Amino acid sequence: MELALRSSPVPRWLLLLLLLLPLLLGLSAGAVIDRPTEEGKEVWDYVTVRKDAYMFWWLYYATNPCKNFSELPLIMWLQGGPGGSSTGFGNFEEIGPLDSDLKPRKTTWLQAASLLFVDNPVGTGFSYGNGSGAYAKDLAMVASDMMVLLKAFFDCHKEFQTVPFYIFSESYGGKMAAGIGLELYKAIQQGTIKCNFAGVALGGSWISPIDSVLSWGPYLYSMSLLEDKGLAEVSKVAEQILNAINKELYREATVLWGKAEMIIEQNTDGVNFYNILTKNPPASTMESSLEFTQSHLVRLCQRHVRHLQGDALSRLMNGPIRKKLKIIPEDQTWGGQATNVFMNMEGDFMKPVISIVDELLEAGINVTVYNGQLDLIVDTMGQEAWVRKLRWPELPKFNQLKWKALYSDPKALETSAFVKSYKNLAFYWILKAGHMVPSDQGDMALKMMRLVTQQE
């Protein structure tokens, strides 16, 4: 570098400025920041969203053989947890171009949209923070960080400023999507971010935790996974959680939520919270001992984030993918800070955000709710319950409508889903799917995405 500085006719101060410019702009050295105009390209980078807080994103341009990417929407996918990685799980297990064996996915959403995967909040996936102050504590902080990232993204990739932009989400990602969507709408109104925001899709979303918890017992009972005594035990702890939330004791509600899950596991012989037709694998001796030695938050994080970064996926992300990306700091591992992410959000975890969905609807933003029939953690009964609590003036008309059957394969005539839609609110009931709808019912999930983005 010294030789280059001495021999160059360009002033030394200008060369130093050019070297420092990527850091000043929140870009990582070595990142791919070109602007492809052809389908099938990928770019990725870091954005510095706050001091010592760095968020990673990964963009795939649409690969439709009949259309240029500029004619198709851009979808940002947000994973749950909090602490689950979009660039890992959503990408390789659900909707990205390759599966976790790096084989082409037949139902990839790239057929109908460009995809932006973001590891959020800070500390999730390849995103990272230096020091405890770098982690988000609540939804407002999560949304604020995302506004910094989206501004940087759309300023750099102007080719996406005019295409319809949707936020699709899953689980806790839905709660974040609602908050982010509202702040994005405000930023666009204020002129600070340029993008064509077209709507949010909330999949198995943690919008109203208490409505999910209160429905667990009745749902399991109706599916023959609880009997009378078990139903009474689950209902009792659900009432305790309701009481804590009514008193705004959200940390206490989180503790009780973990207790409710343990009671359900004991009464159902270990039902899987993400698909009731499957069973949780038995805990190892080591895991059983951890139940008695670790805090409730660590146990909850293990239960709800670990499945999003299983051993095989961790090996993939920290091996071939890390090598491909080149820009991941040497001292950071994929998913290494997930527990910190989860624990720092404890006080916000059980807070409802129904009012935010109301604000989105009032602003005219398209809101789609979709849910898997076999999901327990955010079961459909709970989703229907919070939708009924909306104060949106058009809700009575939405409720009066009759749902319509959908078929992923019209020739088979097998019902794959039901849908109800009125003005800017839609609800999809996805059959034979658990919490991870695109993973369980890829064809139907792809069809739903096309319907939401007005391609069918």
Pairing of strands 164-170, 114-118: unpaired
Q: From CA 263, how far away is CA 258, in angstroms rounded?
A: 9
Known catalytic membership, residue 288: no
Evaluate whether 26 touches 52 at the Cβ level (below 8 Å).
no
Evaluate whether 208 touches 389 at the Cβ level (below 8 Å).
yes
For residue 172, which phi and psi values (nearest 5 degrees)? Answer: -65, -20
Q: Which of 322, 320, 325, 350 is nearest to 336 (CA)?
A: 322
Q: Is the dihedral of CA 295, 300, 305, 307 positive or negative?
A: positive
Task: Classify residue 166 as exposed, middle or buried by CB count within 10 Å of its CB (0-12, 13-18, 19+).
Answer: buried
Q: Which of 157, 304, 307, 435 is catalytic?
A: 435
CA trace torsion 344, 350, 354, 355 (10° rounding): -60
Q: Which residues pair with 50 in a beta bridge?
A: 53
Q: Is the dihedral of CA 265, 346, 149, 336 positive or negative?
A: negative
* Residues 6+ positions from 30 with CB-CB distance below 8 Å: 326, 327
Known catalytic membership, residue 435: yes
Task: Classify residue 36 as exposed, middle or buried by CB count within 10 Å of its CB (0-12, 13-18, 19+).
Answer: middle
Q: Which of 85, 171, 408, 416 is catalytic?
A: 171
Known catalytic membership, residue 295: no
Q: From CA 386, how far away is CA 148, in angstroms rounded?
A: 30
Residues serving a catalytic function are 171, 375, 435
